[in-house]
Chain A
Amino acid sequence: MIRFENVGLRYGMGPEILKDVSFHVRPKSFQFLTGPSGAGKTTLLRLLFLALKPTRGLITAFGKDISTITNAELPFLRRRVGVVFQDFRLLDHLTTYENVALPLRVRGKEEASYRKDVVELLKWVGLGDRIHVLPPVLSGGEKQRAAIARALIDQPEILLADEPTGNVDPPLARRLLRLFMELNRSGTSVVIATHDLTLMDQIDARRMILNGGRLEIHD
């Protein structure tokens, strides 16, 4: 699905943040991306989301070498990837419903065609009673779930989540993990960037550990 081969990345003239990173995110797979703070997890996620160009190496996404993809093709490729940002990135002037429906709205779909799906998804993530609320009124956990719902609404082939449990208490973190597992069972590949060991210990999944810019994989 997404393959990295000897990928290296440096910011400007600084040291290499990522060194010879090679891995493959397979269809329907589940993996944690972990490592100490500042190890480059977010940078690796940005590369996975095609928001950065590697300094060297090869990245193949959905069978295409990303160095050959034009900027006009990128939005269509990104629609196959759902992202949950660490800081949620919800639009404060839109309701929870409108935030979650945003990916469908920007694709030009009629509101009537997706209304039911959005409401069902909001109920599924436990926000059925927060549909018309604006994000500043939501709690951290609710924002997190709204961000997850937005990433899932168009049924992406792969979900990338950056510290999805960083702002929630342990019971909610477990609930969110179950949500990701359920999603994975339905066929979506999941990559969760986290440094929460308790969370990772709860399931037997592949662990990709970034340390000193190098990646170790424990299947």
Chain B
Amino acid sequence: MRRLRSQKWWMFGHKDERQTPIVPNGNISSTALIFVIAIMTFLACLTLGAVTVVRDSASSWQLQIAREATIQIRPDEELDMEAALDKVQVAASGFSGVRDARIVDKEATARLLEPWLGAGLDIDALPVPRLVIITIDPASPPDFAAMRAAIKLAVPQAVLEDHRNWVDRLVTMARTTVYFGIVVLSLVLVATALAIIFATRGAMSGNGHIIEVLHFVGAEGKFIANEFSRRFFMTGVKGALAGGLAALALFIAVGVWSAANRSTPEADQAAALFGNFAIGWAGYTGVLAIVILVALLTAETTRLTVLRHLKGLDRSNPE
């Protein structure tokens, strides 16, 4: 096929681009290199996607909990519970940063206790604490200390729980998870870089005779390095694209699966942990960055390998 193409440009006087490339297109080692690059890129993208999902989930948990606070009113014989609930609701609503203060009514309270006390519960017959749920603006949260004091003043039996301890622990856990993910991602990226460097050098070792011939017919080192790095850049692009696209396909497939099975217990479990399992624009940009980085790394490794080989050829000291 190449022979025919070669004859064709000869006969019709086509331009230089139709000449056979100085560095041959592909052999077994370059096919193996494409596979190595694809697999390592896939793993790196997968790790990046996992870190993105964990980070997004952690901040989403944090946001959900930081958005709510609870006022609990303990029952007391001398306390008119309904009046106390109204007082607390009014007192809480007056603070800036409070979007809504909602009384958990008797039916809802009974439903909350249903797993322990059974159905058909008469709330009035039991000394059950009652709740007021406060929805908070996470961008400008209210002054909890002042709110706590105001609520205590309005109803001494009322206690404000702003979930601060829980949120702080969650933030620490989320940050630790993300830091751990970043460390794992860094290790995977370093392993990817090393695997690509060694695989590229292995593939290059079969081309030593081409470097030598070009060198001895008077090609400049820069020319030889460019010829090889251009060819291997394309190898890198092919492998990295294959790995990156495979990782994206996996993310999309898992996303579609979790959307389609949203009502099943397994999907509920996964959604509770990972939200909607979408890597978002940050994830897609990261995958693109990894693909570009891997292709550039392949080209640069090739360039340096060629230059090192040439250094050995240039007026070398006899060994």
Is A50 an interface residue, CB under 8 A from the partner? yes
Q: How far is the CB of B43 from chain A (nearest CB, A)?
A: 33
The CA of A91 and the CA of B213, in the complex, are separated in Å by 8
The CA of A154 and the CA of B219, in the complex, are separated in Å by 13
Is B221 an interface residue, CB under 8 A from the partner? yes
State whether B10 touches A132 (Cβ < 8 A).
yes
Cβ proximity bits A95-107 to B, threshold 8 Å, 1 near / 0 not: 1011000110111
Cβ proximity bits A71-91 to B, threshold 8 Å, 1 near / 0 not: 110111011000101000111
Chain B residue numbers with a CB within 8 Å of A91 are: 22, 209-210, 213
Chain B residue numbers with a CB within 8 Å of A102 are: 22, 213-214, 217
Chain A residue numbers with a CB within 8 Å of B20 are: 93-95, 98
The bracket for how many chain B residues form the interface is: 20 to 34
Chain A residue numbers with a CB within 8 Å of B221 are: 71-72, 75
Q: Smallest CB-CB separation from B24: which chain A residue?
A: A93
State whether B216 touches A132 (Cβ < 8 A).
no
Is B315 an interface residue, CB under 8 A from the partner? yes
Contact of A53 among B7, B210, B311, B317 (CB under 8 A): B317
Q: Smallest CB-CB separation from A80: which chain B residue?
A: B218
Using A75-B221, A110-B16 as known contacts, say yes or no to A53 and B213 having CB atoms under 8 A apart. Answer: no
The CA of A52 and the CA of B313, in the complex, are separated in Å by 8
State whether B212 touches A89 (Cβ < 8 A).
yes
Q: How far is the CB of A182 from chain B (nearest CB, A)?
A: 22
The CA of A79 and the CA of B19, in the complex, are separated in Å by 22
Contact of B318 among A9, A78, A110 (CB under 8 A): A9
The CA of A121 and the CA of B15, in the complex, are separated in Å by 21
Is B161 an interface residue, CB under 8 A from the partner? no
Using A10-B318, A53-B317, A89-B209 as known contacts, say yes or no to A134 and B3 having CB atoms under 8 A apart. Answer: yes
State whether B217 touches A132 (Cβ < 8 A).
no
Is A49 an interface residue, CB under 8 A from the partner? yes
Is A65 an interface residue, CB under 8 A from the partner? no
Q: Can you list 11 contacts pairing A with B, beta carbon distance less than 8 Å?
A: A51-B313, A71-B314, A74-B315, A78-B216, A79-B218, A83-B216, A98-B19, A111-B16, A111-B19, A132-B3, A132-B7
**Extra A-B contacts (16), CB below 8 Å, given A75-B218, A89-B216, A95-B3:** A49-B216, A51-B314, A51-B315, A52-B317, A53-B318, A55-B318, A71-B315, A75-B219, A75-B221, A83-B216, A85-B216, A95-B6, A102-B22, A106-B218, A106-B220, A132-B6
8 nearest A-B pairs in the assembled complex, by CB-CB distance: A106-B219, A79-B218, A103-B217, A93-B24, A111-B16, A11-B318, A78-B218, A75-B220
